[in-house]
Structure 1
């Protein structure tokens, strides 16, 4: 959160919203502005937490996201796309069973619906690359074949997600992506 001690100390005194005064609601709004202003930093902090997510992969979950985002950046993808790739697994920190849904919900006010759909559905599409090895249905993604975003999600998993577990890959650091994260999440959800 923003280190504005004035905002942190000033609190309304209402105990129910229907008794709040105009002045108290102005204090709430002031805090809300600080909350939005600080969103990019909190997202970057959550991304750093991916380093600690146990995953059994050859690289940390953070390194996986950095590799995927680096590949997308080097392919000349749009900034929105690169940031979506960077944060596609951010939900693993607190919501591993529905990590993609959480990431898509976080992105929805800031990027195009096609990118949110890609992020939300990527786990099913990612299964195509390893479920056969486990003796499971590797084609569950086919249930979404009629979606206009099917091909882009196939491509995301093929080019950026399933191949980003390489300990020798020269990923760009999180600090490189910081200005992109700040720009995408600075617009307060106004797309």
Structure 2
């Protein structure tokens, strides 16, 4: 590769970069699952956040949710270490190319919707989510928080193992790379 500026790239240079991006896409499931592992060992909750994530995904799976939804439930909090002030935005942005608009919106807004359950204890309006009542995804997000996020801190709940979810993550994130476009 000889270019110093992108407008000097040749088609051959671009093909090399395409291969790099394809390899990055291939590695993405393992990278995201390793971020899930970073949530293990947290003692601030009744179960660590890795177990919380497994529990949310297990509940969604056992409720018959589709595979994409289950993967979203599994990964919904993995960016808390990378973006502790905006983890919903971070994971939504990462998964946006792979998931539906409704699941993207749910991921992006779940932290605010979750305050419905604890807002009064920390001085936050528990009804802050009401500003989004007109969204077609409001009910889905409220339901996700009530059925899978809020309740998934139960130390007695028996989770599925991570091995159950790994193939699902790979299938949901299976997409060819393409250059950015409008």
Q: Which residue of 2 aligns with 1:39?
A: 28
* 1:172 to partner: Cα distance: 1.2
* 1:160 to partner: Cα distance: 0.4
- Among 57, 68, 78, the alignment partner of 1:80 is 68
* CA shift in 2, pair 1:114/1:107, >3 Å: same
* CA shift in 2, pair 1:128/1:172, >3 Å: same
- Among 6, 17, 29, the alignment partner of 1:17 is 6
Structure 2, unaligned runs of 5 or more: none
* 1:173 to partner: Cα distance: 1.7
- Are the equivalent residues in 2 in contact too, given 1:110–1:188 (CA < 8 A)? no
* 1:30 to partner: Cα distance: 1.6
- Per-residue CA deviation, residues 90-140 of structure 1 (Å, 9 max, x unaligned), is 111211111000111111111110011011101111001011233432111
1:148 match: secondary structure: coil
- Per-residue CA deviation, residues 131-185 of structure 1 (Å, 9 max, x unaligned), is 1233432111111111111111111010000011111211112221000000000
Q: Which residue of 2 aligns with 1:51?
A: 40
CA distance, structure 1, for counterparts of residue 117 and residue 43 of structure 2: 17
1:187 match: secondary structure: coil
CA distance, structure 2, for counterparts of residue 189 and residue 145 of structure 1: 35
Q: Which residue of 2 aligns with 1:127?
A: 115
Structure 1, unaligned runs of 5 or more: 1-11
Q: Which residue of 2 aligns with 1:101?
A: 89
Q: TM-score, normalised by structure 1?
A: 0.86
Q: TM-score, normalised by structure 2?
A: 0.91
* 1:50 to partner: Cα distance: 1.7
* CA shift in 2, pair 1:99/1:185, >3 Å: same
CA distance, structure 1, for counterparts of residue 177 and residue 91 of structure 2: 14
The total of aligned residue pairs comes to 178
- Among 76, 101, 114, the alignment partner of 2:102 is 114
Q: Which residue of 2 aligns with 1:142?
A: 130
Moved more, 17-26 or 121-130: 17-26
Instruction: Please show how residues 174-185 of structure 1 align to structure 2 within 5 Å.
Output: 174-185=162-173
